[in-house]
Chain A
Amino acid sequence: MSDFFTTAILVATAASGVRLAVPLLFASLGETFGQRSGVLNLGVDGIMLLGAFGGYYAVLQTGSVWLGLLIGIVVGMLLGLVSALISVTLRAEQGISGIGIYLFGLGMSDLLFQKLVGTPLPITKFPKLNFPVLSDIPVIGELLFQHSVVVYLAFLAVPVSMYIINKTTFGMNIRAVGENPEAADSLGVSVNRIRYATVIIGGTLAGVAGAALAIDLGIFQQNLTNAQGFIAIALVYFGAWRPVGVMLGSLLYGFVNAIVLQLKTLAIIPPDLSDFAAMAPAIITILALVVVARRFKAPAALTKPYSRGE
């Protein structure tokens, strides 16, 4: 155990946790918007996968990571639009349509990869930022100032989301639509338009999450996300529909995984127990759901499609 508590290992583990948290953070922030307005999008993982492939393929073809990120955004937006069409306009059962989008994304991203790329090829990764003095500070430098650009983008998205949801008219409308769509409607807020907007934001951020993951790993493979999209959805509940809570949840998830991985590397956890270790995050999440459900209320109209008396 003493091997673990050295500064170098602790710092490396923490940095690893931050990296693992980034795709979850993007995706769960996006899902927060949708859920605050009353739409549960279970297809996040499928959107992430297609965003990941889109981003990967763009970088592979052009060598530009920024174009890759842009493609991730575009793919996410389009799929967000489709999701909104299904759950807002067609008012489909949200718990199930999302599963369909997930299966579609899982199959389609793999199909495109096999047909357009075939054998995995590495791509350029995001540049790591190097702050003049800060990056050289021993522990803090490695922990805070040596990450790739997307890490900072992800954490920057937290205050931005907070501001949008809590301080803008748009955010007020989101919350109104999520809590009481009839009332919002009677005040002249277009429930459908707000929900379209939030679901597209959610899709976009899921696309970004996927592209960020693929470009950060520098590779694509079938099922690259390994169901991270579902974890992201759970983290929204975990974070009680608040950006800061969602961020803490993502970090916790990233840290737990990084610590387990590091302990296995140092042979502190025997491989036999790794299945139990893998169970831990899910069980922690269920327990957290109990706590959150007691202390915070979900948006009242969550998963309930709105129809204005037809």
Chain B
Amino acid sequence: MKKNRLTWLIVVLALVLVAAACSDDSGTTTTAGDSDTTTTAGDTPTTTTAGDAETTTTAASAEPFKIAIVAPSAQNDLAFTQSIVDAVNVIKDEMGNVEVQITDNTFIVEDAASAIRAYAVDGVDLVIAHGSQYGGSLQEIAPDFPDTAFAWGTAADTFGLSNVFAYEAASDEGGYVMGAMAAALSESNTIGIVGPVEVGDAKLYVDGFKAGAEAQNPDANVLVNYTGSFSDVALASEAAQAFAANGADVMTGTAQMVVGAVTVASDVNIIWFGTQANQTSLAPDIVVASQVYHWEVVLRDIIAKIEAGTPGGEQFKIDLANGGEVIEYNDAFALPADVKQLGEDTIAGIIDGSIKTGS
């Protein structure tokens, strides 16, 4: 009988807790509602109901323009995901009446697919699927929502669908520029590049950097290490140590795990070139420059198209020429004037087509 009582006790306790929670919830509604304005993008406390959504699409311009982002890593990763979040925030500041919703860390592809679909059902105007691995799902989802615009990156394929935009970065261009500067700065003629996996944006960047360095100095010894992981910070750190042991005095790397390599570079005073976001804050003494993506350049075009009634069907690319890719220098780093000039000349050469990045 003792046990019976104990079980009852637990059940009752659980029920009491539920009741307490319910009353608790209603008690905090007001305060939570207040803070809502600061935490979420829009100032509408209730973003729900599919019923509302249907009216949204036909509503007048007073309705906010709704953008949703689905991305694979954390929104403040100083890398891939942050680049699109920052860009959407720029757009929001420019346009004013924009509501942004973010689902980050959706490394589960099928969950990303669900989120993309759910945002479409909710009547979001532009759903950004920020991950090349989401393409296969988007290809099946987009036709179900002909009135919703989708943007997929980084990719160069719209599957021939009229409501899908594709966007990508010519990350090889910035890589090439910084590779040339790296070779000019290197005294040991040994340069190390840490990569995650040899695919997509990372491969483009690494290949571009290598080509730039070798073009500047044919004798440069460019070491490349794909660690096999986007997330293993410890391995990235040891890869940087391995470069140091091999005499590298300039390094770069791409994807979110490179933070581990940057701190090593900082320890042993090896200079660093960043990409995907400005990485100066990680190591103000050794970061020379970062290739920064300004996706807002393509987002502006995409939104203009949507508002003009074209929900997709086009491909966009950010590059040095259209200002979507910018080399941001670290002012605290004493970059010799001739090397900076080399960088500027290389940028000019790539823009006017006299320099090819080799891919």
Contacts and interface: CB of A to CB of B under 8 A. Distances in A.
A and B in direct contact, judged by CB atoms within 8 A: yes
B238 A257 contact: yes
Interface stretch (A176-184, A195-203, A262-270): A262-270
Contacts of A16: 238, 241-242, 245
B246 A265 contact: yes
Nearest to B246: A265
Contact of A275 (B192, B228, B239, B245): B228
Interface in B109-124: none
B263 A12 contact: no
B97 interface: no
A94 interface: no
Nearest to B82: A119
Given A9-B246, A264-B225, A264-B226, A221 B241 contact: no
A222 B198 contact: no
Interface string A240-269: 000000000000000001100110111100
Contacts of B245: 8-9, 12-13, 16, 262
Contact of A218 (B192, B229, B263): B263
Interface string B67-95: 00000011111100010000000000000
Given A219-B260, A264-B226, A274-B226, A257 B235 contact: yes
Contacts of B225: 261, 264-265
Contacts of B235: 226, 257, 261
B262 interface: yes
Contacts of A19: 238, 241
Nearest to B74: A222
A268 B233 CA distance: 23
B225 to A, nearest CB: 5
A121 B263 CA distance: 10
A223 interface: yes
A264 B76 CA distance: 30
Contacts of A23: 234
A125 interface: yes
Most buried by B among A9, A120, A271, A275: A120
A16 B245 CA distance: 10
Contacts of A9: 245-246
Contacts of A114: 74-76
Contacts of A15: 241
B74 A110 contact: yes
B237 interface: yes
Contacts of A264: 225-227
A226 B192 CA distance: 23
A125 B267 contact: yes
B170 to A, nearest CB: 23
B223 interface: yes
A291 to B, nearest CB: 27
Contacts of A221: 77, 231, 233, 256-257, 259-260
A217 B74 contact: no
A12 B243 CA distance: 10
24 contacts: A9-B246, A12-B242, A13-B245, A16-B238, A19-B241, A119-B78, A120-B76, A120-B77, A122-B282, A217-B233, A217-B260, A219-B233, A221-B231, A222-B74, A222-B105, A226-B234, A226-B235, A257-B238, A258-B238, A261-B227, A261-B239, A264-B225, A265-B192, A266-B223
